[in-house]
Amino acid sequence: MSDDLLLSPAHRLAQAVRSKEVSSVELLDGFVDRIEQINPAINAVVTLDLERAREACAAADEAAARGEWRGPLHGLPVTVKDAIETAGIRSTGGAIELTDHVPAADAPVVAKIKDAGAVVFGKTNLPRWSGDFQTFNEIFGTTNNPWDVSRVPGGSSGGAAAAVATGLTSFEIGTDIAGSVRGPAHFCGVFGLKPTFGVIPQRGYLDRVGGGVNDVDINVFGPIARDAADLDLLLDVLAGPPPEDEMAWRLELPPPRRAGLSDFRIGVWLDDPACRTGSAVLWVLRSAVDRLADAGAKIEEAHPAVSMAEQNGLFMSLLTAAVSPSFGSDLGPVLGGSHYDWLHRADDRARTRAPWRAWFEEFDLLLCPVMPIEAFPHTQDGNMMERTLTVDGVERPYLECISWVSLVGFTEQPATSVPVGRTEAGLPVGLQIVAGRHRDREAIHAARLVEEILGGFVPPPMAV
């Protein structure tokens, strides 16, 4: 089977299965061959369930021969981030406490892709409890960036993004509480969607022992793919209420209001004193914005009337409370604070949404960086509060990595990460396209238009 086909978007693979160009079993064998060849260098796929997957793929082929189609993902072999519970497959959350954890039931998102015809055949690597901007843990070790194995693929969905970039899977499902879909997409040169909070059910999220039974504040599940059309397809499959609410309500996301890029009113915010964008990334982003303007996009230097420094301070306080259960009974209560404090921070968040809502009444989209830097070298010493990164010769706090993604995390806007070029060193750079709350389709449509102008996904050299 050709590498070109296995590096194709999921909708192209689904079409190939439907037209009998390739069988589901052949796709699975193709991905497994690539995993054997490529995965030793990047360590993206950490668990395989091939016997059951082959049976499911064979059943999909038999159904296809009868003219029976389960759904839009019929027969597509896929991997899923190891933070998401998958029935019958070891699902660890990257934590040694769950080394042998095999869930009895699927998370709702896994059930949804299976109902649409996909076959889950493996899990991808992540940091412990999804808690880092790079990907390593005590069970499976370190995942490397497929563009430069000395660098990180991002986190926490680093294994997922690396697997998509190298054609080890049809697509991926990641999680994003602080850029964990968008950051790896940026670092690995693929597409990612952070949906509006609540649009995709997030039950079955392994952020602690006994986790997955409630929604986690700020956190969302989102697809990682090789083009924007896949994000739209997967949003169709994944969006909706959690199972217990399906009887009572339906989700109807509005379609895009604009047709071409010139129909949008677009604000650009590429740099800020609170988080300077590194020169290598800024050059790629400015070049991309200039090309979009040359193609007719109406672009203004404008953004919501908010302070990045203040926004990030509030985000970090809410994030710390949201992730505090993963630190256990000793440290968790200290980090989480009191419910009284959290309620006041939640009030502050509600007030912060107002300037975003007002801005998106005048503008359609906001373009900004995903991360202020390109993929950085592995740096695993100490904790996130202690680490630093060197940007343009200046040592900066490690946590600055998430300054741009956090802007639209706790205020719940949808955002896509779109590959728009590479630095002089050959590392991918993503552009973050932000839309108003529940304008997920608009963020994806804009990503598709940007992809048409700037070229979209390019596989790393090791993948071809």
| Residue pLDDT, tens place only, 387-413 | 999 999 999 999 999 999 999 988 999
Which pLDDT score, from 0 to 100, does residue 18 have? 97
Chain region(s) in the chain for CATH 3.90.1300.10: 3-245, 261-463
**53 vs 79: CA distance, rounded Å:** 11
**205 vs 108: CA distance, rounded Å:** 10
Mean pLDDT over each residue of the chain, to the nearest integer: 97
Which pLDDT score, from 0 to 100, does residue 1 have? 83
Helix (H, G, I), strand (E, B) or coil at 10: helix
pLDDT tens by residue, 68-123: 999 999 999 999 999 999 999 999 999 999 999 999 999 999 999 999 999 999 99
Inform me whether the pLDDT recorded for 215 exceeds 90.
yes
Which pLDDT score, from 0 to 100, does residue 177 have? 97
Yes or no: is domain 3-245 CATH 3.90.220.20?
A: no
The token pair at 1 is 């089977």
Inform me whether the pLDDT recorded for 330 exceeds 90.
no
Which pLDDT score, from 0 to 100, does residue 329 have? 86
Give the bridge partners for 220, in sequence order.
176
Query: Can you give the pTM of this predicted structure?
Result: 0.98
Angle at 410 (CA atoms; ends 383, 132), nearest 5 degrees? 20
Inform me whether the pLDDT recorded for 162 exceeds 90.
yes
pLDDT mean over 233-254: 95
**28 vs 32: CA distance, rounded Å:** 6
Helix (H) or strand (E) holding 80: strand 77-81
Helix (H) or strand (E) holding 369: strand 365-369
Residues taking part in catalysis: 81, 156, 180
| Nearest C-alpha neighbor of 153 from the set 434, 428, 367 | 428
Give start and end residues of each alpha helix (H) in 120-274: 158-165, 182-188, 228-238
| Nearest C-alpha neighbor of 434 from the set 402, 406, 399, 400 | 406
With cut-offs at 50, 70 and 90, classify the pLDDT of residue 165. Answer: very high
Yes or no: is domain 261-463 CATH 3.40.50.300?
A: no
**Torsion region of 149: left, alpha or beta (phi above 0 gives left; psi -120 to 50 gives alpha):** alpha
**238 vs 234: CA distance, rounded Å:** 6
Give start and end residues of each alpha helix (H) in 116-181: 158-165
With cut-offs at 50, 70 and 90, classify the pLDDT of residue 4. Answer: very high
